[in-house]
Amino acid sequence: MGCISVRNGLVLLADGRIDQCDVLIDSGLITEIGGELRAECEIDATNCYVLPGLVDLHVHGMGRESTSLSSLADIAQLEASRGATTFYPTLFAPPDEIATQLRRHRRETDDLRAVPQVAGFRLESPYLANASGGLPKDCAPISEETTEMLLDAGGGLIKIWDISPELPGALSTTSRLTSLGVVVSLAHTAATIDQARAAVECGARLVTHLFDTFRQPMETEPGAYPAGLVDYLLVEDRVVCEIIGDGTHVHPLLVEKAFRCKTPNRLAFVTDSNVGAGLPPGRYELPMGWGTAQINGPNDGVRLVDRGMELCGSALTPIDAFRNVVNMFEKDLATASTVCSRTPAKLMGLNKGELAPGRDGDVIIVTRNLNLVCTIVSGRIVWQI
């Protein structure tokens, strides 16, 4: 792995300042940030922003590729072309199918060593109380047998596991997974505040696409405002909350509420991208019998034509989500980088998410209009216009 210098760019420093300087990467790590840093390979980033690579915690697919059926190498290339230097392929299927998919991906990638952008797998099913945009067959009761079967199939590479906290067995399973270093995420739930708090006490540290697939509380007495699960999660400092930042899955006013309650340090923008994300507007056939999807652009979601245009994921790509933080939700670059890079990296214990000596050499270069120019993973250029 050689030495590379990104020169003369507007570099977003770890303290949030932007300074025109160079970033030197050697042996996969950022070694120095300063002036006149020369290397055998140099990239001129004049008039461009130099930012931490984007970290996407929730990815079902992109373009015409699906995490269930496609090669992770192909998805990684698409992710690189949209600014993601790290992502978590997310599986949503019945338990036996998930196990088959996990084994295939591990076999094809030498246990992910061949795809350095992939930091591990995420299981969104089967332990859900509500399949939402998925299919009922994808959900299954929590059992020790199923858990151990999936852990074995994942070979230690399952890093995020979604669970509805109201399901029987949720608390003991949350404790078990947490003890193994798996981040448990509260998902697709109509749990009470007490049920969610119990799961957090057992180690749950993430919330799957907040607001989306969470039921609002019913008014129990005229004139009394009921506190619901989302209200609790917004003030629970032990959990990071995901947001699908397209303005469709979550109304912009609620996104602003989340920014103010969670702060960027407890908020992670995700794509929840599906097949179709990044494609031009049109209709596309989804894999695994999901039917026909309508794509109207990055911010209208992936919609199922045969199910009344129901949302089944988002059409965002990572750079779209980053741009939305700035353009749609009117935050600065440092905030956008925090929710798209630093917060998810910190949650997952990654040596990524900010530009500083000693951090992984994961860097993106974007124009002043936030169009992607170059993606660098561990000091290696993986995509460039």
Instruction: Quick: pLDDT tens for 47-86.
Output: 999 999 999 999 999 999 999 999 999 999 999 999 999 9
Asked whether 10 and 337 are in contact (CB, 8 A), the reply is no
Distance CA 113, CA 357 (A): 24
Query: Can you give the pLDDT of all 385 residues of the chain as single tens digits?
Result: 679 999 999 999 999 999 999 999 999 999 999 999 999 999 999 999 999 999 999 999 999 999 999 999 999 999 999 999 999 999 999 999 999 999 999 999 999 999 999 999 999 999 999 988 778 899 999 999 999 999 999 999 999 999 999 999 999 999 999 999 999 999 999 999 999 999 999 999 999 999 988 877 887 888 888 899 999 999 999 999 999 999 999 999 999 999 999 999 999 999 999 999 999 999 998 887 778 999 999 999 999 998 899 888 899 999 999 999 999 999 999 999 999 999 999 999 999 999 999 999 999 999 999 999 999 999 999 999 9
Asked whether 30 and 24 are in contact (CB, 8 A), the reply is yes
The pLDDT of residue 311: 84
- Encoding tokens for residue 164? 């509805």
Q: Domains for the chain: give ranges and CATH numbers.
A: 1-52+353-385 (2.30.40.10), 54-165+203-351 (3.20.20.140)
pTM: 0.96
Average pLDDT, the chain: 96
The pLDDT of residue 7: 98
Distance CA 334, CA 341 (A): 10
Instruction: Quick: pLDDT tens for 6-21.
Output: 999 999 999 999 999 9
The pLDDT of residue 288: 73
Distance CA 293, CA 51 (A): 33
DSSP H stretches of helix in 14-93:
72-80
